[in-house]
Structure 1
Amino acid sequence: MRFGLIGGTLEHSWSPVIHEQLFSLAGAADLHTYTAVPLGAEAADTALCRLERAGFVGLNVTIPYKTAVMPYIPHIAPAARHIGAVNTIYFTPQGRYGYNTDYGGFGRALTAAHWETARKNCTVLGTGGAARAVVQYLRDHGADVTVLSRYPEKQRAFAAFCKRCGATLTDYSSSRGGDMLINCTPVGMFPRTEEMPAVPQLDGYAAVADLIYNPYETRLLRQARIQGSRTLNGMYMLIAQATEAEEIWQQRTFPPAWTERIAAFMEKKYGGR
């Protein structure tokens, strides 16, 4: 079966390596393929039709398509519709189905790192599809959440989402520190690895997470680590959301230990980068 990842540009992605590891652990390395499919500026509906005709069974979705694909998926899981973003698509004879595995992937990453969210003051950077899943998870698990955007006045849809789930949307100048900072923007991602979000009072956060996994330690995380904050990159979340997507496509449950095995493999392979 053919699976893949769609996004604007995908030169940074290590998703194919993770899915190949999952296929191998499942004893299905000769049965499945996973391909990164950069779309450039191709429209979401055109891309989905083209890839469905090409025989793809499932797709992961990344920047900037997580909200753009939704109008073209008739069957969207309630959780994904509530979040307002789809990162996993399943093509079936009954139609297209959309899911959000970022939510669970982020949660599993926090659990593995032993980071608590209840009654914590959390600041989220960004207003994209991944940020929606992160904000929803944090609010569902008892955190007070402030979302920082460079242009909050332009984010009407995200502002409505924040109002609905009880988060606050404001601009970067409002950063005052807190228990946890989570970067959900692509700033600092390969190949522009010397960039970092312009966060005032970075040293005011006890813990800093970055959903970016390439590079393994972004400039943001490096600076936070030097200043004494606990840090977490996006690798475990990437693996966990990929595992959940494969469980949807293959209609089976994978052992939790597989996530740990793949995390150790990816640490060994990419941890020095």
Structure 2
Amino acid sequence: MLKFGLLGEKLEHSQSPKLHQQLMKDKGIDGTYELIEISKDAFEDTFLSLKNSDFRGVNVTIPYKETVIPFLDEISPQAKYIGAVNTILFSNGKAKGFNTDYFGFRALFEHNNIKAKGCNAIVLGAGGVAKAVQKALCDMGIFDLTVVSRGKENFHNQYTVSYDFYKEKRPKTDILVNCTPVGMYPNINASPLPKALMRAKIAVDVIYNPEETLFLKYAKELGMKTINGNLMLYEQAAKAQEIWENETL
């Protein structure tokens, strides 16, 4: 029996076990998928013990997508560029890191027939998933990309502004993407932006629980096309299973 799991700090509401069990069932794979909650001070010891255990692979979520990188032996080109890892393969005593959020976000656009090429986009947030989204948007031919972040982190020279600057300028864009956890269950009555500051044609929220965040509710009321993170969750999980089974980048 193959063993997989999810590493994170708080995982009680994760849908990953159900999703991966179904993916394995569909493919006839005999395997288990466990939630592995780790405190920050115990991360290194726990990860090294997993690396030397009978686990085939694990997913990684908040807040360890960047923390895990120094403990990896190999890293895929996308994950190296992004600087964040959400999928790890344990093979021949080595830990190999990948980023399937990148593939999941691209699939989200393809499924919804959204053409990023030549468009403007604003990404809210600068964490691991935001970096994957920025890389995907650039690879899909986005014309102009602005990142709104509370910190001063700059990802590969992308134009980054503060929330105060955003609120002052009130920019309009084609695609507005929420990559922050604001609005995620159980804090569902929160939005990363007030309704009055949302000016776009398409609003995407990578959050999947709830299916309609307050951010997307505001966007719908303003007449925007809205897309949640459900398909991205599924596609990144399917890509992770593919990596674990076939060791493909």
The TM-score, its normalising length taken from structure 1, stands at 0.84
Q: 2:161 aligns with which of 157, 160, 170?
A: 170
Q: In structure 2, what is the equivalent of residue 266 of structure 1?
A: none
Matched, 1:228 2:223: yes
Q: In structure 2, what is the equivalent of residue 26 of structure 1?
A: 27
Matched, 1:204 2:199: yes
Q: In structure 2, what is the equivalent of residue 271 of structure 1?
A: none
Matched, 1:57 2:56: yes
Using the TM superposition, give the Cα deviation of residue 17 of structure 1 relative to its aligned residue in structure 2, in angstroms: 1.1
Give the partner amino acid of 1:6: L
Identity of aligned residues (%): 41
Deviations 1:73-114 (A, max 9, x none): 011112210111111001111411111111111000111011
Flag the 1:32–1:42 CA change in 2: closer, same or farther, 3 A.
farther
Using the TM superposition, give the Cα deviation of residue 252 of structure 1 relative to its aligned residue in structure 2, in angstroms: 7.8
Q: 1:192 aligns with which of 171, 187, 190?
A: 187
Give the partner amino acid of 1:171: S
Q: After the TM superposition, which segments of 4 or more aligned residues of structure 1 sit over 3 Å from their partners?
A: 199-203
The alignment's C-alpha RMSD in Å is: 1.6
Give the partner amino acid of 2:23: L
Flag the 1:125–1:72 CA change in 2: closer, same or farther, 3 A.
same
CA distance in 1, matches of 2:187, 2:86: 24
Using the TM superposition, give the Cα deviation of residue 235 of structure 1 relative to its aligned residue in structure 2, in angstroms: 0.8
Secondary structure of the residue aligned to 1:188 is coil
Using the TM superposition, give the Cα deviation of residue 150 of structure 1 relative to its aligned residue in structure 2, in angstroms: 1.9
Using the TM superposition, give the Cα deviation of residue 26 of structure 1 relative to its aligned residue in structure 2, in angstroms: 0.5
Q: Is the 8 A contact 2:195 2:219 kept in 1?
A: no
Give the partner amino acid of 1:148: V
Which deviates more from structure 2 when the two are superposed, residues 86-95 or residues 53-62? 53-62
1:112-127 matched pairs, under 5 angstroms: 112-127=111-126
1:27-46 matched pairs, under 5 angstroms: 27-28=28-29, 31-46=30-45
Give the partner amino acid of 1:57: R
Structure 2, unpaired ranges of 5+: none
Using the TM superposition, give the Cα deviation of residue 119 of structure 1 relative to its aligned residue in structure 2, in angstroms: 1.0
Q: How many residues align?
A: 242
Using the TM superposition, give the Cα deviation of residue 8 of structure 1 relative to its aligned residue in structure 2, in angstroms: 1.4
Q: In structure 2, what is the equivalent of residue 7 of structure 1?
A: 8
Q: Is the 8 A contact 2:183 2:215 kept in 1?
A: yes
Q: Is the 8 A contact 1:203 1:229 kept in 2?
A: no
Using the TM superposition, give the Cα deviation of residue 22 of structure 1 relative to its aligned residue in structure 2, in angstroms: 0.4
Secondary structure of the residue aligned to 1:97 is strand
Using the TM superposition, give the Cα deviation of residue 58 of structure 1 relative to its aligned residue in structure 2, in angstroms: 0.4
Give the partner amino acid of 1:215: P
Using the TM superposition, give the Cα deviation of residue 23 of structure 1 relative to its aligned residue in structure 2, in angstroms: 0.9
Q: In structure 2, what is the equivalent of residue 145 of structure 1?
A: 145
Q: Is the 8 A contact 1:18 1:242 kept in 2?
A: yes
Structure 1, unpaired ranges of 5+: 254-273
Which deviates more from structure 2 when the two are superposed, residues 91-100 or residues 104-113? 91-100
Give the partner amino acid of 1:49: L
CA distance in 1, matches of 2:186, 2:198: 26
Q: Is the 8 A contact 1:162 1:168 kept in 2?
A: no
The TM-score, its normalising length taken from structure 2, stands at 0.92
Q: In structure 2, what is the equivalent of residue 97 of structure 1?
A: 96
CA distance in 2, matches of 1:74, 1:252: 15
Using the TM superposition, give the Cα deviation of residue 43 of structure 1 relative to its aligned residue in structure 2, in angstroms: 4.2
CA distance in 1, matches of 2:227, 2:206: 8
Q: Is the 8 A contact 2:51 2:94 kept in 1?
A: no
